[in-house]
Structure 1
Amino acid sequence: MTSNPSLFAGGGVMGALMRDRDWSTTSLGPREHWPHSLIVLMRVMLSSRQPMFIAWGADRTLVYNDSYAPMLGARHPAALGRPFFETWPEVRDEVGSLMNRVFAGDPVHMDDLQLTLHRNGYPEEAHFAFSYTPVPGEDGSVIGLFCACTETTRQVLTERKAASERQRQQALLQQMPGFVAVLRGREHVFEYVNDAYIAVAGERDYLGRTVPEVFPELRDQGFFELLDRVYATGEAFAARTVPIRFTDGDDRYLDFLYQPVRDETGTVAGIFAGGYEVTEQVRSRAALAESESRYRTLFETIDVGFCIIEMRFDDANEAVDYRITEANPAFERQTGANVIGRWVSEFAPNLERHWLETYGRVALTGEPAHFENWAEVFGRWFDVRALRVSDPAAGRVAVFFTDISERKRMEEELRVLNTKLERQVSERTAERDLLATIVERTDVMVMAADLAYNILAINKANADEFERIYGVRPKVADNMLDLLADQPEHQAQVRAGWGRGLAGEEVTIVEDYGDPERVRPYYEINFRTLRNEHGERIGCYQFVTDVTERLRGQAELALAQEALRQSQKLEAVGQLTGGVAHDFNNLLTIIRSSVDFLRRPDLPEERKGRYLDAVSDTVERAAKLTGQLLAFARRQTLKPEVFDVGQRVRGIADMLDTVTGARVRVMTEVPDDPCFIRADLSQFESALVNMAVNARDAMEGEGTLILRLARGATLPAIRGHAGSRNPFAAMSLTDTGAGIPADQLGRIFEPFFTTKEVGRGTGLGLSQVFGFAKQSGGDVDVRSTLGVGTTFTLYLPEAAAEDRPEGTPRPDEGPAPLGAGQCVLVVEDNVGVGQFATQILEDLGYKTTWAANAEEALDRLGRSGNGFDLVFSDVVMPGMGGVALAKELQRRLPALPVVLASGYSHVLAQEGTHGFELLQKPYSAEQLGRILHQVLGLRSRR
């Protein structure tokens, strides 16, 4: 093969580079040895303006033209004559397999190949369209590859950006709250619609079709003409509440906009159509207008007087005046006066205080009022209903009233007609109740419904809230249950609440309503019966107030208070546990030593009796210690009763002489008038004795102790706790002792804290007083001056007097009567106590069966009781507790008596015994026998 000097002629920059290149240093070898096919392809490549390259030989030696050089970036011109993959190592995986196919004789064409190149020192995305053509040698085998290629990176990225922008725009349109469509061209061809558009117009074949093709039913409704006009003039068109009729045949209403869309030259190329369906709003407004018209007609024609008053308060929030801002015609007929716009202080300066206080309370609290009262200014009796309306800060109250002067006169003169008169009042009251529900301006949510849950009347506040929590807006004549047909769990809750009211139950409930994914507030709901003119029950109505924030604040306050109480109690845990262990170890030492001596066979009867008495006395002391601990923790089970505290104080004072000693003078200052409290009598007396003993020790057995009782006292703020203006009985004990140092005043109610020397007290006496006072709804305060003395004051809420049976015997004395073989089911989870209880009952003459838990007890009793005469159950057990078991038996077997036993139960301490007989642990065999005999005896008498 000979050299050809004109091989690189006309090759531009690459031709010059190739002429200067020493090809003998490459795998191609000297130019004079190049094959004819390579020379031909070289000439074609150098003379072309399209990017081309040749990869020749086993190492794919790279040669290329001027148009290809920019694709190499910084790798040009070093890439000339080098193996292809030394120049492009990063594309070996993608391009290598393609070149292998070509060198195997298979041409390759690709419109878009994406590669990541490092041609400028950093990775960049690149796209190419190319053809790989195999070049055969003289023996027919492929010896090279010829490539004509075009880099399409800019075009691909531009198209991608445009597509991304279109997607972004469509996503924005899709998220728009209203319906959207994009129309193209003079024929108004659908180019895009969002889901909201489909929801309004229905599922149709939109894209690529014209508006008349998609909506043939809109012909002659004017929409096609509007589109033509917007396209022709380039002027937007907007309209509100436009009627439209689709194939479903019902008139619907739209707020919509036709906005011309222009191309880059400013020529109108299409139309943007968007808007909202307002059918429900139009229908709701129409229904509301009809309702308001109906209500206004009723308002103007009813005989019930109605007015809106505006309250005026002083700086202490006491109502001092009000004026009538609005009234119906019946107002003047009922009162005989026209006083609209005037302040009461102007026309009735001596108005009874009752009216101001009642209306002021309604305005401040939002609690409705219903009362009958004489109005001196009008000289008439009125039956009045008042409820707050609008913003509470405005102090506005709606008043419905009826002149009942004639009725009052007839009540005095014709009492024999009382039954008929009550029926008339009931009918008129029901009429006023219905009228109260139609007051649209109140912020209280009001709705009335008939017995089939159909809405008779509803104000805007209730409709807005119903829509907020359920996503559907109610209106008059709608059925509440149908509105919630697709929300069965909410439908059931509404049925349960309204069902009580529609059944005639006038009740107030507090409950949360609504879809949790929307909002679920708490409401206070008052249901009241709705009657027709004949007094027949035709439905009910409700007044609803959102109390979410109030309940949340109460819950947060309760949590904070509980956390504070727990933190305060933790400070006494170390001292409490140490003191309990010390005192109980002392008591157990006496019991254990006595039992050891009782086991001796030679022990004389006299000493045996002494040790038995020691065990019994020690058990009583342990029980008293436990009771004091429970009293401090406010977990004891109290048995409150109403009694005259003054009478009890006089009785205690007579007994205190034996407690305090002869050198302590006890004086009492108790008023003659009775003062009643409701508390546990024995705990009250124990509290007074504990305080008296504490005073005696403070005076070292000599001085004066004064007991004072004050009626109607207010509870002051004590140790950071809020006070109360309610009436309290204040029982104070004042001594003339040494007083209490200021640094100890804050600790004197802690359990086991005492300033006495070892052996002179447990430190639980004042703890019992504190626990009893707090659990009884009161508190205890202390004031002390060093060297002068100390006053303890026990505050307990006053109560109304109650009839109390006198002389009721208490079967606490004498041996317990024996049973007559009655069957007793013992329920006790503690094995030792269960076995011991069954043994005691058998010794007392009863037949026993033992169940280890409440579930087993229910199985043994079955549906009929299986012959058991009584159930004796512990309160605190794993799983179902004793109180829950007793309630379940009360439901299943109401004739089967239940006796509960407990040494401690927070359920009993907080809620009482729930009406069941309770035996306190530790109990004796005599106590158990007496209470079982009493319960079974009462049962037999019934």
Structure 2
Amino acid sequence: MRDYSEAELRQKASESIRDKLIGRELTDVEEELLIYQTELEMQNQELRETQERTEQLNRQLNWFYNHAQVAYLSVDHGGKIKICNETLAAWTGIPVFELKHKYIFDLFYEADQLLLRNIFRVLLKRPDSHKMELKLKNDAGTSERVVMVQGIASEATPPVLDGDGFLSFTLSDITEHVRVRSTLDLASQVLQSTSECVIITDANTTILDVNKAFCEITGYSKEEVIGRKPSILSSGKHNRTFYERMWTDLNNSGHWRGRITNRKKSGETYIEELAIHPVYEHGDPVYYIGIFYDISERMAAEEMVQRAQRLESVGTLVGGIAHNFNNMLAGISGNLYLVNRQPELTDKTQEKLQRIQMLTDSASEMIRQLMAFSRQTPKKLTVVELNEFVRQFQLLHSAAIASNIEFELDLSEEQAWVKCDRVELEQVLLNLVINASHALRGIEAPRIKIAIASDLDEVNLDSGASEKYNLIAIHDNGCGIPNELLDKVFEPFFTTKEQGEGTGLGLSTAYGSVAAMGGQIQLISTEGKGTSFHISLPAYKEMKPLRDGLEIRQQSNVSTDGAVILIADDNEMLCEVMSDILQDYDYTVITVNNGKEALRTFTEQHVSLLLTDAVMPEMGGFELASAIHKENSQLPIIVMSGYSSEFVDPIVDDAFIWRIDKPFAPEQALQLIQQCLQQTAGDLSMREE
């Protein structure tokens, strides 16, 4: 209470005396008593005012206690609730007066009660503060709450409680916090499990976090990149202008998407598809999120598809050209054959005719290679002599080698025969020679050598027996291959060349092709000294090649009396040449220029054999053959084609239909015609392999 000064009391007393005893003087005693009475009255008034303020404050505190966002309760040492606020009643759906008859453990689910009891026992033994996350039951059926329970032990007992001590608990509703935390945990799991690389930076592009995919693709650990700049991945492939444009687009549009060539920790470059999105706060970017994935393999696959599409277009073009060109070559070969049959040719003339025939054969092989390159010819196994094969390879492909490179051959003394697809083997050698030429860049006195060795011994791993094989070795004195890369060179898509110089498929394709021929390919390389590829192929035992993949059975002289050959081809020159050759062998020949005219001629005249082109106006050769065999199923029919077999209809499964590819040697056509004329049921030896 306030202590009043004597002056204040006397002032108050004098005011009271004037009010009550006007005109009379007080004695000293009366005056002292009056002052004392006045003091008591003033103190009583102050007490009343203080009590009113205290009661008001208690009401406010009680309101805040019962309406707080936190639930309060106190329990005795047995856990029975003694006091609690209205917030706890609202959360549990149990009135306050009922809560005072319950134990704190009853407010929680059984799974959480054990944890609470353990903490409770700890608090009883050692006064302290403990927190735990529990799920609160709700008897009203409303949504459950997750609460943070904090228990506090005290030896003092509030006035409203009886006993020697109590435990106080506060319950904070963290349901929304837990939901957000769960969402963040889920987002974090998604971030770490996604196959796309994620990088998060602050507004200054300092890396704050990366995911697992980022680490797997780049080779950097999270600890190595956090706190650094994304430029750690820079490959140097993009100039400053590129990045300035990127940031300008990002700031103007709010996002950026594009392709970037970056560098891994190992030094290997890769191409990534990158999308950058800023995170804004109050209109300013506070974070940047980059999402990217390595598209190097996808781009290689796309390049393969594009290449296949280009080859498909080339193949269509080549097929059309091949048809006409092969017709011309067939005409040239036929005329050469007729000229060679003329008597009294000089040696010089015969030599020139042989040169023309060699050029014709070379042109024919070039057409076949073009069609093989565009994948328009099936595999065609032939017997090849390797010494002659590499001689022709050197003549055909020297232009593909830089003029400063010495390209030499080291041939074997004995012939080396193998059975293989000639075009495929040529493609294998071409891939290896081109790779060798690339390895010779900057080398003084560059050299490529192809060596042939015959009849070498090797052990068959399956049978354990010693077998003969022939070897093709391609050597260069180039830069060589590092030891750590030797095990990778035959893997698909592996390449050390710059972007655009190769797909990484050449050596893997060569490996598969050689294996398909029953052979092996071995790599020997020393960095800084050069590289050798050794191709070993099984030696072919029969030292006689098959002509164009067809096994021609030699026939004795067959009488041609009365044999009528109907030739149907839209190329008049070829019709004329074949007519002259067949007439020279006493055949009767009828020529027509399309399928419908040939069908009409067949119905009007006697025909012993039909020699028809596969592709003609109005009616093609196979359609013509089907129509004729409806009338005469045993008429021998030979179909000539200047296309690959994939460009024409499949040969009818008929014992009396044969196929011969243009350009063909006249001797081959004559032998086939003779065999067809003597054909009997079941004799299918002339069918193409």
Shorter-chain TM-score range: 0.3 to 0.5
> What's the TM-score once normalised by structure 1's chain length?
0.31
| Structure number, greater radius of gyration | 2
